[in-house]
Each structure stands twice: as structure tokens, then as C-alpha cells.
Structure 1
Amino acid sequence: MTDKKQERQPTVLLVEDDIVVATTYQLFLAEEPINLISLNTGAAVLAHLQESIPNVILLDLGLPDMNGMEILKHVQEQRISSAIIVITAQNSVNVVVEAMRYGALDFLEKPFIANRLIITLRNALRQQNLNQLVDYYKQNNNRDKYHKIIGASKPMQAVYKTIENVATSKAPVFITGESGTGKELCAEAIHKESQRKEQPFIAINCAAIPKDLMESEIFGHVKGAFTGADKARVGAATLANGGSLFLDEIGDMDMGLQRKLLRFIQTETFQKVGTSHSEQVDIRFICATHRDPLTEIKAGAFREDLYYRLNVISIKLPSLRERENDVLLIARQFLGSYAKEENKSFVSFAPETAVILKDYDWPGNVRQLLNVIRHIVVLNEGEVVTPDMLPSPLNDLPTEPSNSQSSESKLVEIKPTVLSPSNKPITSPLEIRPLRESEKALIEQAIEMCGGDVPKAAMFLQIDASTIYRKRRKWKME
């Protein structure tokens, strides 16, 4: 019991070569809820840090085998997360400055009273806990990948957090979202984050299996249960026992089978087709549909009682057009993967291509994007994906190609004062133009001065090139 309690307590490493002084510090800290380890040489400290990282190091600079500054340097170079409190008898500003430069959190000058040591240590532990918390939130709120899901946008960060919150529960999860948004990947991530991760994850697409075979697919059948059943079949319910059963596109399931599924979820028992014998299983249910469940209920296509039984926890996946810059993140990831598979040399997208990919609505979401990238890789050669390589309908979109003949060496100064056609200072309110016209004039002038090079003009205007392309397409349509 004591060992378990010590494991939960923060570890403090005391580095002091004087046995009497070290014993005094240990007595000072005897009532503190810490696991205190005492070492008396620099070599012992370096060896200890290879095996274990303490929360706080109380470091005496005057060690017999090395200067304590060497340990500070080591901790900084190795990016060890321990907070360090330097202890020294040297009352020197230079020593303090050097220690702080190498990452020391605080400084204690000998001699000091017990209360000073206790307060300093408590502050260091509090600061270290805060740093760990900040690092945790940075790590978990800025992820660009989560299991097999790729995405760094805010909507996806919210999805990742929801998955983590619901994974440990056994409650059913109902995932909604447009086709191609990654509902099965979401379901698999829930399973991988759960305590059932070592058990089977069985997925069934209810829209891809004929209605007459769906019951057998889920529950299995015995030999001779129906015409063509020349041997017994184990269903998904049996295969998923102990794990998770994912029913994709459950909105396409036959109403009669929905009634049997409801009973299965309520009792966790089922009967194979062709037998009256009941089997008991332990399953976590995860379902998904691209349809609006409430609309389907009103239309009489989905059982209301089944919906509320399944919709204990709901997750709505955002469409790709709602995911900010995730389009390019996913595109670049799979450009590399597909290029490697097809033994091609593609490594990047031309700026104009990136703009088109980012601005397209992607009605087929991630699935459509992956198909486009594979199409490009298979049918083209090169290192950079240019707009002419894009398949329909992306190659039908208007683009603004860069002018490769423009001078790259000429420095261009864009002055954001274009308010009148003549570019002269305004002397009367009657000369003031609408902001929209002034913006258009400024952008067009910048492009002209850059020799038609839109990305270059965008750089001088300090805006994204995609903003210019989008505005120019809008102006052409008006």
C-alpha cells in the first residue's frame, strides 16, 4: 500500500554531497507528501536521470566530482522536464544569472530555514504541474492525426475529444455525417480507445448487403436454414463478442430487421436464422448513417424506439468543406502515400492547384478527395501537381496561373493607398470610392505590378493567394 502511495507522490531528487546537510534537508521535508531520493555525486545524478525523471531536483552546485552547472546543462540539452532549484553558498549575481540561463526555476542561498525550503519546493511542484498540464493540452488540442483520421482543424479536435470521452463507456454511439466523412474510421477510433481494443471490431455496411441476407449476416444461420444454406454461418454478432459491432448506414436497414435488432440491443441475446436457440453476447454497439435520422423517423423508414436506444451518445462528423485547411493536410499525406505505391515522384502541389483544392466544395468529402489524388498520381508524371492534372470537375474551375515571365529579381513596393482611378490623394468626400471598388483596384494594380504573378502580389499585400483567386472569380461572375 505504501509503495502505491509513493508512486502517486511527486518525486524530488536531492543532490547534496554533505551528509549532515543532506540529512538536515530530509528532516525539513519529512512531512511533505513527496518521494524524496538523495544522491551525493554528479555521476550518480546523471545515471539516475537515464532511468527516471524526477518532478523536482534540489541541486547543490558544489559537488565533489563536477560543477552542478554541468547537470543543469545536461538537463537543458536533453530537454528533461524536471524543475530545478539551485542551492549554493556562493552569493554571486553571475552564478544566479548563469543558473537561470540554463533553466533553473529558483535559487536558494545557504543557509536557509526549513520554511523557505518547503515554500520554494511547493512552488516548484505547482509550476511543474502547470507546465505538464499546458503540454498536455497543447498535445491533445493540436493533433493533426488521431488513429487513422487525418485532420488538425478545430471541428476535428472536438471530434477527437468526444471520442476520448465516450470510449471507456459501453453506451451505444450513433455517428452521423455526410457520405465520405470517415464514419467507419471514427467508429474504429472509438473501439481502439476503449477497454475492448484487444477484442474484435466487426463492421457491416447495411446498404451494401441485400435485404434477404442481412439477418444472416448479423446473426448467422444454421445449415439448411433457407435455400442455399448448405453450411452453417457464424454471424457478426458472434464474431464481435467481447468487442464492438459497427453497423454502418443503419438507416438503410429493413424495418422488420430493425425490430429484431432492437430486441438484440435490449437483451444482448439473439437467435441464428433457422434455430430457436438463444445466444448471449457482450457487445458495444456503434452505428452510423449519412441520412437525417429524425427525417427518416417521420417518413416511417426508421423505428423511433431503435433510434433512441442507439442514440445514447451522438457524434456528428463535419463535412470536408467545414474543416478549414484539412483538405491540403489530407491531400499532401495521400499524395505521398499514393506516389510511393505507384512508384511516382510527386512531392507537392503547385500554389494554383492548392487553391483549387482548398476552395472546392467536396460534396463527396474525404472519399472524393482521395479518389482525386489517386487519379492524379496514376495518370500523370512529375514532382509537382499542376492544375492541368486535375480531373473533372476540378479542371473546369477558373484558375489564375502565375506569369512565369515576370522578373523575380525586381523588388516591388505596393502602397495600400489606391482609392481613386488616378491614384492621386483624395481632396474631397465626393472622390471617396466604395471600399469594395478600392480593394479591387488595389489588388488588380498589385497583380499588374508583379507581372501577373498572383502569389507574389499576395505576398506583398500580406494576404493568402487563395483570397485573391476567390475574389477575382467572384468579380468575373458579377
Structure 2
Amino acid sequence: MAADASHGGGTGFPLVLLVEDTASLRLTYSAVLKAAGFEVEAAETGAEAIEKLRRCRPVLAVMDLMLPDRDGLDLLQTFQQIAPDTPLVVVTAHGSIDRAVSAMRAGAHEFLVKPVDRARLIEAVTHALKARSCVPAATLGGQRDTLPPFIGASPSMQETYRLIRSVARSMATVFITGESGTGKELCAEAVHRLSTRREKPFIALNCGAIPGDLLESEVFGHLKGSFTGAISDKQGAAAAADGGTLFLDEICEMDLNLQTKLLRFLQTSTITPVGATRARKLDVRIVCATNRDPEDEVRHGRFREDLFYRLHVVPIHMPPLRDRGEDVVELAQTLLERMAAEEGSTLNRIAPAVLDLFRALPWPGNVRQLINVLRNAVVLNEGPVLTPDMLPKRLQEQSASEACAAPSPPPAGNATAPEDPFRGWTLARIERMAIEAAIRRNDGSVPQAARELGVSPSTLYRKRQQWGECG
């Protein structure tokens, strides 16, 4: 009998367990699900839901987080213990989105905010069932030391791999944080490749590289003639990612007005291109990233709090290279071999002294800086072994300066304290040195240096123009 119930009691329709204590909503959700081809088993309380879960073996459960006899998060954990392969879609009131976020982190597939749109309910249920049936087990085992295309098996990266595998099956938005050069886009691509959307487009958009007045058009598209310069219709990144994944890099650079429109898109799954009067329905999963502290951006009013909670469902932090231990050795050797093959070079091994140096360096530019160093060495030198003298001069100088930077013992007795290194310098000179150093650390990127220094890129461009360094 239970076996039949899992398929709709012999009707052939998949059975959904609906847990909702409000009678009117229970009837509404049941009608929507039945109209979409599902059979529904409804429960009013947590206790009744557990009994029906054991007896009916549904293919999926839709569950309100506010129940009269039991906390929804506690019930979610019980569901996972009884039927770990049954996906869960949770429903919450607008003021309890933080609880829905906690449910997503605990393993729920998707959350819906009341009042629930009928189309969104069916969309969430459909995606949850697809994730249950279509993801190959081999991609979810989590037993490998690495996750392509990443290199390295340090403990910090193992945790990253675990989170990627865990979240890939769901519809949850992923919020990736980490310093510049740590591989945030690679992380987003890995989430996409392990998801049920892997055959659909992965579209990446850097919000920090596009002028604010053009960003809305880049995300949502525009119609011909909608503004000066719109000489033809343009498909935005969201529409291009339909069915797949939209990766919004440097999300904290997005203008507050556009943040409002992005929030509406997340809530309704519809977009309205610039100049259009009709909205278009899309099926897109959002993954975003930033090298800033998003919570600090919220506190300072630069990022909408409601959008933050909508996006920050499953956070993944990409560790800096200096915290990845021996990963830097594996990365360096693997990347050097690849670059040597690409350039037709014989420089494909690394001297022990260079590996010791690589272990000791702080790598402020992370993996991107390591790639830059190795590419420079391969292009300018012959092999077969990479030695310290082949490294870029700035790296050798950095190594030498750090070797000399060990703190000196405090002066004994009445000895004179060390002289102030900035004595006799003007403020303008100190400012210029700080700006130039930040630009060098960011491989010549003025926008990245500006973010590090907490100023706008236009400020740095203006100052460099005053110094006569750019025309």
C-alpha cells in the first residue's frame, strides 16, 4: 500500500506532502499542485506530517515553517533523518526570511515567501524533483580530494568543495566571498557544472567593470530607441542565462536603484527590459560574489538588507592562498607545466629554493598573482628549472624586504628609538606612495586598488592625471 502511495495511490501521479496549518492556504496550494499533475497528501501539524511521511513516502514535501505544535526547522531535521532523499520546499512569511535562509542552509531545496505565487510554487516543486532525479551520484559523492577545475587539497579547500557539492543540487542562491584572485568565478562555475542546469548557459557579468548607467541594460536588456545609443534590441545577461545560471561578480558595486530591480526579479522571476512595457518570465539561478564584506556594506547603507538576505542563502568563502598551506606548491608546479606546454618552453620544474619562497610569501594577489609570476618566468626564461633569479624583480624585492622586516628588539636603557621612516615626507608624497603600492598589488588595476583603499576609481584616475602618469 505504501509503495502505491508514493506514486499517488495507484493513480500514477507523483505524491507531494503538503504541511500547512492554515486551512485556506492548504486548500489553495493543494488545488495548484493537483492542477499541475500532482497528488497531494495534506497535514496540519508536525506530528501528522511525520506520520504521513513514514506511511506515504512522498516524492517531495512542501512545508510551512510556522506550525502550531513544532518548530519548522526542527521538523525539517526530522524529515531529513526519516527520508534524506526527499527534497523539501519551505514556505515562510515575509518577516521570517531569516528562518527560511536557515532552512536552506540546513538542506531545504528552495524557499517561498507568502503570499506564494502559483507559478513560483510549481516552478520550485518542479526544480526540486528534477534535482532529485537528474544529478549523477558520482558528482555528489564528496569523496575526492579536489573538485575540478580547482587545484589543491588543503583543509580550507576541502570545506569549500563540500559546500559546493552540497548546494549544487538546490535552487538556493549562492553568495561567494573572498579576496581578489582567490577563484570566486571558478567556484560559481563549479556550482553550475554540478547542478541540473549544467547543460544550460553559465553567464558571468562583472558589475564592477560596467558603468552604472549601463548596468541595468547589461543585466535586463533594452529595446531599440529606449535611450541614446540604443540602436538595436539587446538581450541582457539574465535572459541569456535562461534555464541556466547567472553569475553576478562584484555584486556590491551595483547601484541601489538596480538592487531594487534585482530583488524584484528574484521575487517574481520576471524581467522588464529597459524601454519595454511587458515583463518576461525567466528561469535563472543566481550566484553572486564580492571581495568586500557584504554585511559591512549593508550596515553602511550601500547594499539593501532585504536583497542581502535573499542572496546570502548559502555563503561560500574562498580562502586566500596564504591560508592554503602546501596548495601553493601543487598549484605552482601544475600551472608551470601547463604554461610551459602552451608556450613551447622547457621550463617545467621548480627549484626547492623557489618553493620555499612561495611558501613564505603572503600572496596579496592570491592565485591570480601566482599565475602572473609564473607566466612572466616562462615567457622570459629557458628551462628546465625555475630558479630564484628568474622570478620578477618585484617579487625578489618583496621577498628581500620581508626578510628584513622582522621586528627589532626594543632599545635597551636610554638607547634612542628608531627614527620615524616618514620623517620629512609631505602628506602628498605619502599618499602617492600608498596609491602606487596599491595599484602594483592589484596588478595595475585601478578599480581594484580603489576598492582596497576605500575610494572611488575616479579619485585615483584624477590623482594620477595630476601626477602626469596618464593622459
Q: In the TM superposition, what are the counterparts of 1:121-270 in structure 2 within 5 Å? A: 140-141=142-143, 143=145, 145-270=146-271
> Any unmatched runs of 5+ in structure 2?
1-137, 410-471
Q: 1:271·1:279 contact (CA, 8 Å) conserved in 2?
A: yes
- Cα deviation for residue 396 of structure 1 reads 1.9
Q: Which one-letter code corresponds to 2:346 in the other structure?
A: S
Which residue in 2 is equivalent to 1:361? Answer: 362
> Offset of 1:329 from its aligned partner?
0.9
**2:250 alignment partner AA:** E
Greater shift, 307-316 or 146-155, is seen at 146-155
The residue aligned with 1:348 is: 349
| Contact 1:356–1:394, Cα closer than 8 Å, also in 2 | no
**How far off is 1:389 after superposition?**
1.1
| Whole-Å separation in 2 of the counterparts to 1:289 and 1:182 | 11
C-alpha deviations, 1:432-460, integer Å up to 9, x for none? xxxxxxxxxxxxxxxxxxxxxxxxxxxxx
2:349 is aligned with what amino acid? S
Quote the offset at 1:220 in angstroms: 0.6
Contact 1:164 1:190 in 2 (8 A): yes
Paired position in structure 2 for 1:305: 306
Q: How many residues align?
A: 270
Q: In the alignment, does 2:317 pair up with 1:316?
A: yes
1:150–1:477 distance in 2 versus 1, CA, 3 Å:
farther
User: 1:392/1:253 Cα in 2 relative to 1: closer, same or farther (>3 Å)?
Assistant: farther
Cα shift readout 1:57-83 (whole Å, capped 9, x = no counterpart): xxxxxxxxxxxxxxxxxxxxxxxxxxx
Shift of residue 394, structure 1, vs aligned partner = 2.1
SS at match of 1:321: helix
The corresponding residue for 2:333 is 332
Q: Which residue of 1 aligns with 2:396?
A: 395
In 2, the alpha carbon distance for the partners of 1:287 and 1:390 equals 35
1:378 aligns to what? 379
- In structure 2, the residue corresponding to 1:393 is in which secondary structure? helix
Counterpart check, 1:272 vs 2:277: no
- Counterpart secondary structure, 2:315: strand
Q: Deviations over 1:176-206 (max 9, x none)?
A: 1111110000000000000111111111000
Distance 1:385 1:215 in 2: 47
What secondary structure does 1:150 align onto? coil
User: How far is the alpha carbon of 1:393 from its aligned partner?
Assistant: 3.1
Q: Is the 8 A contact 1:141 1:157 kept in 2?
A: no
Quote how far apart the aligned CAs of 1:367 are.
0.6
Provide the rounded CA distance (Å) in 2 between the counterparts of 1:232 and 1:140: 44
CA distance in 1 between counterparts of 2:313 and 2:214 reads 28
Question: 1:159–1:317: 8 Å Cα contact kept in structure 2?
Answer: yes
2:431 equivalent in structure 1: none
User: Which residue in 2 is equivalent to 1:36?
Assistant: none
Q: CA deviation at 1:140?
A: 4.3
Partner of 2:14: none
Provide the secondary structure at the position in 2 that maps to 1:166: helix
Match of 1:50 in 2: none
**Is contact 1:142-1:152 (8 Å) kept?**
no
Secondary structure of the residue that 1:266 maps to in structure 2? Answer: helix
- Tell me how far apart the structure 2 counterparts of residues 205 and 362 of structure 1 sit (CA, whole Å): 23
Q: List runs of 5+ in structure 1 lacking aligned partners.
A: 1-135, 400-469
C-alpha distance in 2 between matches for 1:150 and 1:195: 24
| CA–CA separation in structure 1 for the residues paired with 2:311 and 2:407 | 49
Shift of 1:355: 0.5
In structure 2, distance between residues paired with 1:397 and 1:286: 36
The whole-number CA distance in structure 1 between the counterparts of 2:279 and 2:160 is 37
Using the alignment, how far apart are the partners of 1:398 and 1:316 within structure 2? 28
1:287 aligns with 2:288: yes
Alignment partners' CA distance in 2, 1:363 and 1:475: 19
Amino acid at match of 1:333: T
Q: Is the 8 A contact 2:347 2:381 kept in 1?
A: no
Distance in 2, matches of 1:274 and 1:167, equals: 35
* Partner Cα separation in structure 2 for residue 173 and residue 343 of structure 1: 39
**Matched-pair identity in %:** 52
Counterpart of 2:303 in 1: which secondary structure? coil
How far has the Cα of 1:146 moved from its partner?
1.4
Over aligned residues, Cα RMSD in angstroms?
A: 2.1
Q: 1:330/1:228 Cα in 2 relative to 1: closer, same or farther (>3 Å)?
A: same
Contact 2:361 2:399 in 1 (8 A): no
Cα distance in 2 between the residues matched to 1:231 and 1:268: 25
**Pair 355,331 (structure 1): closer, same or farther in 2 beyond 3 Å:** same
Over alpha carbons, which structure has the higher Rg?
1
Counterparts of 2:405 and 2:314, CA distance in 1:
41
How far off is 1:475 after superposition? 7.6
Letter in 2 for 1:316: H
Q: Which residue of the partner structure matches residue 425 of structure 1?
A: none
The residue aligned with 1:430 is none
Q: Aligned letter for 1:177? A: G
CA distance in 2, matches of 1:348, 1:358: 16
For 2:143 and 2:405, the matched residues in 1 are separated by: 35
Q: CA deviation at 1:477?
A: 5.9
The alpha carbon displacement at 1:397 in A equals 4.9
> What's the CA shift for 1:365?
0.5
Question: CA 1:321 to 1:313, structure 2 compared with 1: closer, same or farther past 3 Å?
Answer: same
Encode CA deviations 1:118-154: one digit per residue, 9 max, x unaligned.
Answer: xxxxxxxxxxxxxxxxxx9xx94552x4121111111
Q: Compute the displacement of 1:212 (Å).
A: 1.0
Query: Map of 1:399-410 to 2, 5 A cutoff?
Result: none
Q: Which amino acid aligns with 1:351?
A: P
SS of the residue 2:280 aligns to: strand
Partner SS state of residue 262, structure 1: helix
AA of the residue aligned to 1:261: L
TM-score by length of 1: 0.54
| TM-score, normalising length: structure 2 | 0.55
Shift of 1:255: 0.8
Query: 1:474 Cα deviation (Å)?
Result: 8.3
Q: Which amino acid letter does the alignment assign opposite residue 278 of structure 1?
A: A
